[in-house]
Amino acid sequence: MKMFSGIKKFYNSLTPKKKKIFQFSVGGLSVSVILFLAFMIHVIVGLPSIEELENPQTNLASKVYDINNNLIGQFFIEKRIEITKADIPENLEKALIATEDRKFYEHWGVDVDRIFKAIFKTIFLAKPQGASTITQQLAKNLYGLRLGSENFFETLTRKVREWISAIQIERNFTKDEILEMYLNTSFFGRRAYGVYSAADTYFEKNVKDLLPHESALLVGLLKSPYNFDPIRKKDNATARRNQVLMNMYDFGYLSKEDYEKYSKLPLDIKREKIIRETNEAPHFIEMVRKQAQEVAARQGKNLYTDGLNIYTTLDINMQRVANKAVADHLKGYQELFDKNWSWNNKEAIVANLVRNAINDLEEYREAANQTEKDNISKKYQNDKRFVDSVKKIAQTIETGFVVLEVGTGEIRALVGGQNQKFFYGLNHVSQIKRQPGSAFKPLVYAAAIENGLYPAFSLLNEKFSFKGWSPKNANGAYGGYMTLRTGLAASVNVVAARLMTEGYAPIYKVVDIAQKLGIKTELQPVYSLSLGTSEVSPLELANSYASIANQGIYVEPIIIKMVTDKNELLLEEFVPESKEAMSKEAAAITVNMMEDVINAGTGAGIRATFSRPAGGKTGTTQEYADAWFVGFTPTLCAAAWVGFDDRRVKFTGWYGQGSSAALPIWKNFFTDWYKESKEPIAYFNLPSTVTTATFCRESIERGDGRLAGPNCGAVISDIVNSKNLPIECDLVHRGLKGSESKKTTTNTHDGGSEW
């Protein structure tokens, strides 16, 4: 009260003129105070909370690892992977401090001396200077305090917020923690957020392994990733790097000799990695992304910002072998096809292809009206280069190749298409369904074996008609009885067809066992199913073969083993479903028969380079539309499909058979993989319940209606002598010592191309 009374007394003593001056001064001061308070409220409202300061949130890339913990992919908005202080090499820390903040270990978040010096140089010497400390720059990175294009008021607001936040950060974190967070949150250009990503992007190195001149380049990028980009602006980048090295020398962090040595070195940037990020398993990574996104959603996480760790089943070394096997085969095969393919007399197909391609053009889709669309359509229809490009795309051979581990269901390698640089293209392993042709026959034979038949069971290899259906052999050869073993090895159509039409492998039984083995697609219950007319995906067919090789145990294919959060705490673990699909005895017999496909049948071409135990089956559909080979060793199963996206484009002759178009991929992969991996040879296990007698039952009924049993040798002698029929007593199995079989000479043409 006394203060206000004194002010009033002072005011009354003033002259009228001085009273006006006093009123103006007080009014101005009041307005200034109000504006200052309003400004500070504005500043404070935009500050991060204490909780945000203590628990800063950064966008972290989720990492994808292969079976051996090799980093094979990332999902990110900002490509950022965190490191700890222990990962930061001394030369990187020194380069950063010498260039960005020499008093880092002395100030309390704001360098007051540096601020006044910067103001003086900017205003009086016309040399704009920055005064932000590392802590202030961290505040920008963490809390989005940078406003982009700013006016004076916005710049002032940001600076005050930086100062306050920097002081708060210094109160809550140690200097080492601040340094660690700064390097983890800074942008280094080329989508690299954080020094881990920067070291990998520019040098393909771990941060720990950075040399002084490499650290200097990365620190130099902090000033302006665009202006000092080492690819587009190499001279600028070199000069900036050398300036950082000079800073280190000036500050006593480098000797003169080291400065001269490092400043003369080339940038040595991994140009290819920077220009485009490649991935050796893009279709697999996309499958992982979709599943991982579901996991993230269930766990309340964000796949692109929460730094999840995704551990997959892929073996990157095996993937590289698979990529090479596919690329090497298709390069020459595409040339062969191009020489034999002609668009003559296919004008309607070409017109349709061109029309569809035009409809997909952005220019056409965004046309203002139908008249404009018609004009665009005419332009491209008459553009020979455009039409030729459409034809070229249509006649490009496509492929799907997948490798599963027998027994675990884990996908070890996956080539989803010929173009491995197209990340989100059609996955020809899981996203297509095509007729498998003769590659489906092992499932028919498996149903017959499960139904009580055996390899020596004989069926008549002659034409027949059943309810209007008359299947034919692809090679046109018929005659006499043929055992199941020979029928499968030589891919004889009428033998497979008779199994179904004569009730030895009824349709319902084939459908049931196929679905239990791993075919998810609904199968058409028709007799031609015995020749593979119902469409399936390569992954499904590979899984069904793997189930047979796994003693009849179905295992659901998986691509992710587990997902953890950024701190490696387990979020979800994946254990594949498994169940018995067929008896182990029937599976072992089927495997044994499929071995003969490779040893002496349509897959015999494999033995030119591959000598390990293996079984499999070729497949060719009508008019050489699709070519298949699916096969397995005791440890791995793989399926290769080769064909075209447009089904109207087909192979034109023998080279479109499964044994020519698809088998070489399988052969080259397995030959090269086992040579590279040097895995010991494994053999198929024979269940103790499978004996010589299992393979030695006779197919011709005796007079009393019973099938010949364990004493088949005498029975066969009796039947052969009395009936003179071409009977084979099959004793073949790699697990039976001293067993030999009589081999029947057969035509090994893949029988799937005729129904």
Active site members: 100, 438
Distant-in-sequence, close-in-space partners of 341: CB < 8 Å, separation ≥ 6: 395, 649, 652
d(CA 384, CA 305): 47
d(CA 474, CA 472): 6
Pseudo-torsion of CA 257, 260, 262, 268, nearest 10°?
-150
Contact 524, 534 (CB under 8 A): yes
CA nearest neighbour of 129 among 100, 161, 94, 91: 100
The angle that helices 90-100 and 234-250 make with each other, rounded to 10 degrees, is 90
d(CA 475, CA 753): 9
Reduced to 3 states (helix: H, G, I; strand: E, B; else coil), residue 71 is strand
Reduced to 3 states (helix: H, G, I; strand: E, B; else coil), residue 403 is strand
d(CA 145, CA 141): 7
* Farthest-apart Cα atoms in the chain, separation: 148
Beta bridge partners of 640: 401, 629
Contact 411, 313 (CB under 8 A): yes
DSSP state, 646? S
Pairing of strands 570-573, 578-580: unpaired
DSSP state, 656? G
Residue 330 sits at φ, ψ, to 5 deg, of -70, -25
Q: What is the secondary structure of 492-542 as a DSSP string? A: -HHHHHHHHHTTSS-HHHHHHHHHHHT--SPPP-SGGGGGT-S-B-HHHHH
d(CA 308, CA 303): 7
Residue 471 in tokens: 């299947």
Distant-in-sequence, close-in-space partners of 735: CB < 8 Å, separation ≥ 6: 683, 684, 685, 686, 690
